Amino acid sequence: MEKMPKWADVVLIPIISLLLATILSAIVILAIGEDPIEAVNLMVTGALGSTYGWGYTLYYATNFIFTGLAVAVAFHARLFNIGGEGQAMLGGLGVAIVCLSVPWPHWTIALLAACAASMIFGAAWAAIPAYLQAKRGSHIVITTIMFNFIAAAFLNYMLVNVMRPQGSQDPATARFPEAVHLPTFQSMFSTAENVMFRGAPANISFFVAILACFVVWALIWRTRLGYEIRAYGHSETGAVYAGISPVRITVIAMLISGALAGLMAINNVMGEAERLVLNATEGAGFIGIAVALMGRSHPFGVFLAAILFGFLYQGGAELALWTSIPRELIVVIQALVILFTGALDNMVRIPLEKLFMALRKGSA
């Protein structure tokens, strides 16, 4: 018999954890002498009160969907991929090379090529830690952390010494040609008399992200490979007994994870910046951890959590603009979400399980 109904595990625990994180964040805001209710008001109007705000919220959410899915897929195989940041950086490199080296006739073809390149680069960056975990037993968490730093140094080198245009001081690539610019929400949804999403960076990648959610869902719950990944994540010995190769699953799960993290680059590099700059990922790879934990590693949950974090990001930027609360408040909220939904999961779960057991006894 299960200790509590499934809906409680999937819905109630994340909501309670989120509530705890919210209460603590409110206390933090109070402690630095600001009004939490006023802050929430500002965040809601700033992030959701206009199509411009939504344009930013969905732009950030797109990044987080990709990195959240990346962490989620790895979680299903019980692998903790902290390397999303580095994999997304490398994805950016792939996108930049594709966009700058081929004279693309139309953005559609360029987008397909950029998707492929970013996924290959991201997967390649995840491949080495995956191989080392599978074959040599080196801990994937440590190797992926190390690979984040190596990626940062590598990208720094590429931008400063190799890809920087002649005469430019800025450690960044040249601007991508006009033909590979992705359609933004502004150009997609505006009518002649009514301009929507003016100047906001949300672009067609958002729909690629939604597509990715469906693909990941189908992969994990509707394919043999997905079954094997989940079986391996559930019990390694059980999976081995069923003839599933741990090496194969570890490597494949990490390759998919790295590819998803790399795919983020079509949004931030190709869709927004339209060139590759230093620190283009802005920590989105790490937010993927919070998003995957919050979304219980389910694509739909990841989608919702990514929208929530998109809102927090845009709302946080607005807060920093209008009040003296710095943007780092979002980092604190992110930390609290990771803490409550990840590390302190049992703190919420154990009392709740006891409660459900007591209720069940009462009704029986």
Partner 1 sequence: MDFFLTLVQVLDSTIRLATPLLLACLAGLYSERAGIFDIGLEGKMLMAAFFSAAVAAVTGSVWLGLLAGIAASLVLSALHGFASITFRGNQLISGVAINFLASGMTVLIAQSWFKQGGRTPSLFGEGRFESAEFPYAIGPEDAELTGRPVSELMSETNALHLAYSELLSGHSILVYVAFLMVPLTWWILFRTRFGLRLRAVGENPAAVDTAGVSVVGLRYAAVAICGVLCGIAGAYLATALQAGFVKEMTAGRGFIALAALIFAKWRPWHAMWACLLFGLLQAVALRFQNIDLGGVVIPVQVMDALPYILTVVILAGFVGKAIPPRAGGEPYVKER
Kindly list the residues in this chain that would bind partner 1 in the complex (CB under 8 A): 28, 31-33, 80, 82, 128, 132, 136-139, 141-143, 145-147, 149-150, 153-154, 156-157, 160-161, 286, 289, 293, 324-326, 328-336, 338-339, 342-347, 350
CA distance 311 to 307: 6
Q: Give least dist CB 342 to partner 1, A.
A: 4
Q: Cβ contacts of residue 229 below 8 Å, gap of 6+?
A: 73, 76, 77, 220, 249, 252, 253
End-to-end CA distance of the chain: 14
DSSP 298: -
Residue 222: how many other CB atoms lie within 10 Å? 9
> Min. distance of Cβ 130 from partner 1 in angstroms?
12
Of 48 and 344, which has the nearer Cβ to partner 1? 344
Q: Please state, in angstroms and rounded to a whole number, the distance separating the CA atoms of residues 15 and 110.
A: 41
Give the shortest CB-273-to-partner 1 separation in angstroms: 21
Please identify, using beta-carbon distances, which residue of 244 and 317 lies nearer to partner 1. Answer: 317
Q: How far is the CB of 337 from partner 1 (least distance, A)?
A: 8
3-class secondary structure per residue, 173-236: CCCCCHHHCCCEHHHHHCCCCCCCCCCCCCECHHHHHHHHHHHHHHHHHHCHHHHHHHHHHHCH
Nearer to partner 1, 175 or 354 (CB): 354
Contact 223, 75 (CB under 8 A): no
In Å, how far are 14, 92, 125, 285 from 279, measured between CA atoms?
31, 10, 17, 11
Q: Specify the residue, 104 or 147, whose C-beta has the smaller distance to partner 1.
A: 147
Nearest to 342 by CA among 284, 294, 300, 275: 294
Cβ closest to partner 1, residue 141 vs residue 304 = 141
- How far is Cα of residue 313 from the mean position of the Cα atoms in its chain? 13
Minimum distance of partner 1 from residue 286's CB (angstroms): 7
5 CB neighbour count, 10 Å cutoff: 12
Distances, alpha carbon 165 to alpha carbons 46, 64, 176, 269, in Å: 37, 30, 12, 17
CB of 40 to partner 1, least distance (A): 17
CB of residue 16 to partner 1, shortest distance in Å: 14
Smaller CB distance to partner 1: residue 78 or 230? 78
The residue among 97 and 332 lying less far from partner 1, judged by its C-beta, is: 332
Amino acid at 139: H
Q: How far is the CB of 200 from partner 1 (least distance, A)?
A: 25
Q: Which residue has the tokens 């344009």?
A: 55
- Name the residue nearer to partner 1 (CB basis): 162 or 192: 162
